């Protein structure tokens, strides 16, 4: 079973997160950051991952610590759930439309952390959510999961659509990358024999 439970407590946040990679898209999300709740819920649905995330953070300061630390926890959960990566597709990419927005997302579950993020927003906020925190979330995810991730906005004007397109594209890309290839289910997808 490709599952993980992560508990992280700092002076800034207290987070409990569980992940089932082979789920059906069920989510139970309460981060006290409304827009992030929306993004993680749709990530769960479109990735077909079962996710539970509960966070008590210092949102009276701002949302930064909660968003970053949840990214850390989700990255750790994926790394832990995938184990030695045996049988996974490893690579995946998608170009996803969201109304006027078009997002490219590509991933290599490589054991090497790298984020290529080229997606400018047209506003600094979506409601009360700072749009710069989208990149912070993915930077934290990549560092703790050791995954190479590229996100690029090909088109788009509406900041909500841009963010939503990014999370949906990320979900579909991760869904394909972590899927087991039945032809090679016993193999590590690397000439090194390890990821």
CATH number of the domain that 47 lies in? 3.30.230.40
Q: Which domain holds residue 105?
A: 3-184
pLDDT band of residue 134 (cuts 50, 70, 90) is very high
CB atoms within 10 A of CB 45: 16
The β-bridge partners of 7 are: 16
Q: For the chain, how many structural domains are there in total? A: 1
Which pLDDT score is estimated for 186? 74
At 159, list the tokens: 């900041």
Residue 129 pLDDT more than 70? yes
Inside any domain, residue 120: yes
Inside any domain, residue 195: no
**Cβ–Cβ < 8 Å for 150, 174:** no
Tell me which residue of 143, 42, 20 sits closest to 135, measured CA to CA.
Answer: 143
pTM of full prediction above 0.85: yes
Express each pLDDT in 14-63 by its tens digit: 999 999 999 999 999 999 999 999 999 999 999 999 999 999 999 999 99
Token pair 């054991």 is found at 111
What DSSP assignment string belongs to 168-192? HHHHHHHHHHHSB-GGGTTS-SSTT
pLDDT band of residue 144 (cuts 50, 70, 90) is very high
Which pLDDT score is estimated for 195? 66
Residue 193 pLDDT more than 70? no
Chain centre distance of CA 97: 18
Inside any domain, residue 189: no
Which pLDDT score is estimated for 191? 59
For residues 99-126, average pLDDT: 97
DSSP secondary structure code for residue 132 in this structure: H
Inside any domain, residue 151: yes
Inside any domain, residue 158: yes
Inside any domain, residue 39: yes
Which pLDDT score is estimated for 125? 97
**Cβ–Cβ < 8 Å for 139, 101:** no
Which pLDDT score is estimated for 86? 86
Tell me which residue of 105, 114, 108, 91 sits closest to 154, measured CA to CA.
Answer: 105
Inside any domain, residue 191: no
Residue 176 pLDDT more than 70? yes
Express each pLDDT in 59-111 by its tens digit: 999 999 999 999 999 999 999 999 988 889 999 999 999 999 999 999 999 99
Cα separation, 124 vs 112, whole angstroms = 31
Inside any domain, residue 145: yes
Chain centre distance of CA 179: 15
């Amino acid at each position: 079973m490709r599952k993980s439970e992560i508990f992280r407590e700092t002076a800034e946040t207290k987070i409990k997160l569980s992940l089932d990679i082979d789920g059906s898209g069920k989510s139970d999300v309460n981060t006290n950051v409304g827009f992030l709740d929306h993004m993680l819920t749709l990530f769960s649905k479109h990735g077909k991952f079962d996710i539970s995330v509960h966070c008590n953070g210092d949102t009276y300061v701002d949302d930064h610590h909660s968003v970053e630390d949840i990214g850390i926890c989700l990255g750790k959960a994926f790394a832990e759930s995938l184990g030695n990566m045996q049988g996974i597709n490893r690579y995946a990419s998608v170009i996803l439309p969201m109304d006027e927005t078009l997002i490219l997302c590509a991933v290599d579950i490589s054991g090497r952390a790298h984020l290529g993020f080229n997606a400018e927003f047209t506003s600094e906020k979506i409601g009360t959510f700072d749009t710069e925190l989208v990149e912070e979330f993915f930077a934290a995810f990549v560092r703790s999961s050791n995954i190479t991730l590229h996100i690029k906005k090909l088109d788009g004007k509406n900041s909500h659509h841009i963010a939503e397109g990014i999370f949906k594209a990320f979900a579909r890309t991760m869904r394909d990358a972590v899927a087991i290839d039945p032809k090679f289910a016993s193999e590590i997808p690397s000439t090194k024999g390890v990821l």
